[in-house]
Structure formats: structure tokens, C-alpha cells
Structure 1
Amino acid sequence: MTALLEVRDLRAWYGASQVLHGVDLHVRAGEVVALAGRNGSGRSTLAKALMSMVRAEGVRRFAGADLAPLRTFEIARRGLGYVAEQRDVFPTLTVDENLRLGLAACAGRFSIDEARELFPVLAGRRAARAGVLSGGEQQMLALARALVGAPDLLIVDEPTEGLSQQMAARVGDGLAALRARGVAVLLIEQRLALAPALADRVAVMGHGRIVFDGTPGALAQREDVVREWLGIG
């Protein structure tokens, strides 16, 4: 099957400091790939490189299109969504105003009403300003806003970081619903909290490269990878 997202020999820099040193990765349509690794391994930099938010070189193609010459908003319009670790909601706008800003010009998989159904807490906070929401509610709003933008692939960076177990479970339910709708997901997690239940594959990063790519079951059998590159187990 042809990859929806194809990355080959991707390198990226912050100023003069090189962070990615030749990343090879692919995500197929409808697939959930978890991207794991310690802090500083390059996971978030990879997401930003795909969205043209840092200087990068190498092959990065999405749905057959070369992403290199495109600006961030042009990439989003092509169907590659991004929910950053900081969530980046508009704090002075209401929940509904945030959702309307994300709405795609064309009909997508999710309407605003469907996004509210996916995250029911948002329906009860429609007129609330995003800045007064809890961390979990802001995460759900960020996900919902990305969804109404009609992505074919959604990059989600540490969606459960800092959330209660209950809120993290709700976010996991939302991501599972995306998968059921055929949305591919690149799920960035350090602790692999959601990956065992959601991911088709796990890619592990270390020192700016992919050091393992396989199923969650295959990763569980690789104690060397878990010990050296994840620091757990």
C-alpha cells in the first residue's frame, strides 16, 4: 500500500544545532503510528519539520505532494493536521469560536456538532472562554478544532501529558473514534500510555533517528530497545 506520509533522510535544525539526522518513516492511510522516545530524541522536532515550522532538508511527501516548498497553513489545507503539546487554543475566544476558526472550507469527516459529540464536555462549555478550561478540556478542544479542519492525517504531540487518568482516557476514546473514521494518526508519546491500545506500529526515536519500527507486540519483545531508547522496563 502506498504511504500517505513518506519521510526519507529528513534532517532538521534549530539555528546551527542539528536535531534530526536522517529520519525514515511512513504512515499509511487510516494507520495509527506511535512515535516514542526520550525527551530530546527529536520527536517534536519531527512534527515541526513536517509542518515547515523549523528548517529541514530531505524527503517529506504527503498524499503525493512535496511538503518542502509549502508553508504551514498550506500544509494544513492539504489535510495534514497538527495538535502541538502546548495545545495552542485561543484563550480569549469561546469554545465555539475556536471550533469555527478550525472549520474547513469543504465538508470534512467531522462537523462542529460531531466534534462536540465526540467530546461531550465541549457541548456544555460552548460559551466559555478557552483560557478558563482545564488542561484536559483544552486538549479536547485542540483535538476537536483540528478535526473540523478535515485532516487525512493528524499529528498529536503528547496528548495525555499532565492530564488526570480520567481525562486521558477520554482523549484516548477520541483518538479511537478518529481511527474508526479513517483518519491516520501520528501519535507522539514518551510513556506510550495510549499506544498499546491504539497503535498499529510503534517507531522509536533516538539521537534524531528511527532506531526501531514495528508492532507494539514486537517492541515488547525487544528489551534492548526498551531499555536503551525508552528508559523503562
Structure 2
Amino acid sequence: MSTLLEIRDLRAWYGASQVLHGVNLSIDAGEAVALAGRNGSGRSTLARAIMGFVRSEGVIRFAGLSLDERRAFEIARLGIGYVPEQRDVFPTLSVRENLQLGIGPRGKARGRTRTARFTLDDAHALFPVLRERARTKAGVLSGGEQQMLAIARALLGDPDLVVIDEPTEGLAGQVVAQLAAALQLLRDRGVAMLLIEQRLVIAARIASRIAVMGHGEVVFDGSPEAFHARSDVMREWLGVG
């Protein structure tokens, strides 16, 4: 497999406060990588740095192209979808209108000729509530419904890589199962994924690699089997053990 996303010696700041201290991570085309770590370890900052939302230094390359000094909409057009922890749906627009905003030019700037891997019919099949509430303003949806909408909207842009930040946080079990099914479908259709997820059972089910962050660095990167064999990593960096 070819490397799709390459991150080397990445440092990032909020104002004068440095959060990332030399992150190294790579994701191959079609590969799903779960990113674990305690709150404050730098996981969300890494996602925001990839999308150009925070000041950073170091190397971030996507499909061979540097993301340095590119704005977020330019990065998205290159083929990276982003689902932030806050979901960021447009509250005054309907569910249908939010989804329509996700249907971009299908990467015309990249010369794509393939059929989109995720369609509006797929969104409705995975999340029937989005069809049922098509005319409802997104701001009155429940937290789980907003998360479904945010994921579906990102996938309708036909990304080659999707960065998803804590998709199951605070959600009920039934909704978590629906979201996990959506992520599995995404993986099975060849979309690469960086999944920031605290539920290790879901992370291990979906991802072929698990990376762990601590103090703004990647402190472990390996297969789910190797991860579960490292009780020291789980105890020290995740508080599990």
C-alpha cells in the first residue's frame, strides 16, 4: 500500500502554549488507524493541525502534497473529510440542506473519474432518521442524530481520508452501534480513516492499527494485538489495567 498521509516531527501551538511536541504518524491508502489517549494528550489538536486550524510546524503530506499553508477548504478539496468533536452542523439549515452542502464537486480538481463510494441513499440506509427528519432544522436534533448527520455530510464529499474526532462520546448504546456500522462500511469501501476514539472495543474492531498519544507525542503505534499485549502502555497512557 502507498502512504496516503505522512506526518513527521509535527509541533503545534495554541497561542504561546505548545501542545504537539514532534508527532510522527502515517496512514496508508484505505487503512483505518485509531488514535487513543487521555484527554489533553493532543489528539484533537493533531486533527485540527491536519486540517489547518492551528499553527503548526513540521511535515504534513497528503497524497504526496504538502498541506503547509493550505486553508481548511483547500485541504478538504484534496480529499480529507473532517468530523470534529463538536459536530459543527449548521443549526438553522435542515437535515437535507446540511447533507447537500456535503455533496461537493467529487474531486474534479483531482481529476477523479470513479463513482462516489458513499451516496445519499447510503446515508439514508445507514441512518434512516436522516430521511425521516429531512425537513427538520439540524439545531433541534439530538446529539446522536447530529453526529449521524455530521458523519454522513463528511462522507458525501467522497474523501480518501476521513478524520473523525470522538464520534461516540456521550451517546447511547444503540446510536453507538449505528455509528460503528457506518465506520465499518467506510473502511470496507476503501476510505482511509483516522479515528479518535476512547471506546477501545470499537477502535480495535474497526482499525488495523492503534496509535496512542501522550504529552503531545505518539508513544505507541502498532496492531490491536500488539496494543493489547502492552499492559504498560494501557496503564500508563490510558489509565486502563
Same fold by TM-score, threshold 0.5 exceeded? Answer: yes
In structure 1, what is the equivalent of residue 109 of structure 2?
none
Q: Distance in 2 between matches of 1:206 and 1:56?
A: 18
- 1:207 paired residue among 202, 205, 215: 215
SS at the partner of 1:91? coil
The letter for the 2-side match of 1:129 is K
Which residue pairs with 1:183 in the alignment? Answer: 191
**1:170-192 deviations in Å (ceiling 9; x for gaps):** 00000001011111110001332
Question: Per-residue deviation at 1:129?
Answer: 0.9
Gaps of 5+ in 2: 107-114
1:65-96 per-residue CA deviation (whole Å, 9 max, x = no partner) reads 10012100000001011000000001111100
Contact map agreement 1:30 1:179 (CA 8 A) in 2: yes
Q: Aligned pair 1:152/2:160, yes or no?
A: yes
Match of 1:198 in 2: 206
Which position in structure 1 is the counterpart of 2:24? 24
Residue of 205, 228, 235 corresponding to 1:220 = 228
Q: Which residue in the other structure is 2:53 paired with? A: 53
Q: What residue identity is the alignment partner of 2:153?
A: R
Letter of the 1:128 partner, please give it.
T
What is the alpha-carbon distance in structure 1 between the residues aligned to residue 201 and residue 135 of structure 2?
32
> Offset at 1:113?
2.3
C-alpha displacement of 1:126: 0.7
Partner of 2:34 in structure 1? 34
8 Å Cα contact 1:85/1:157 also seen in 2: yes
Report how far residue 118 of structure 1 moved: 2.2
1:88 aligns with 2:88: yes
Could you tell me how far 1:193 is from its partner in structure 2?
Answer: 4.2
Q: Is 1:138 aligned to residue 159 of structure 2?
A: no
1:171 maps to 179
What value does the CA root-mean-square deviation take over the aligned residues?
A: 1.0
Q: Matched residues in 1 for 2:128 and 2:226: separation?
A: 36
Shift, 1:2, TM fit? 2.3
- Give the alignment of 1:112-131 within 5 angstroms: 112-131=120-139
Distance 1:192 1:36 in 2: 8
CA distance in 1, matches of 2:88, 2:171: 16
Please state if 1:71 is matched with 2:81.
no
SS of the equivalent of 1:81 reads strand
What letter corresponds to residue 206 of structure 1 in structure 2? G
Shift of 1:160: 0.2
1:229 paired to 2:232: no
Q: Which of 182-191 and 202-211 deviates more?
A: 182-191
TM-score (norm 2): 0.94
Q: Following TM superposition, by how much is the alpha carbon of 1:102 offset from its aligned partner in structure 2, in angstroms? A: 1.0
What is aligned with 2:3?
Answer: 3
Specify the code of the residue in structure 1 equivalent to 2:152: A
In the other structure, the counterpart of 2:110 is none
In the superposition, the TM-score normalised over structure 1's length comes to: 0.98
Which is worse superposed, 120-129 or 223-232?
A: 120-129
AA matched with 2:168: T
User: Letter of the aligned partner of 2:236 in structure 1?
Assistant: E
CA distance in 1, matches of 2:199, 2:19: 21
Distance 1:14 1:24 in 2: 19
Report the AA paired with residue 58 of structure 1: G
Deviations 1:93-140 (A, max 9, x none): 110000011111126322222222222221111111111111111100
- What amino acid is the match of 2:149? L
Q: Is the 8 A contact 1:21 1:209 kept in 2?
A: yes
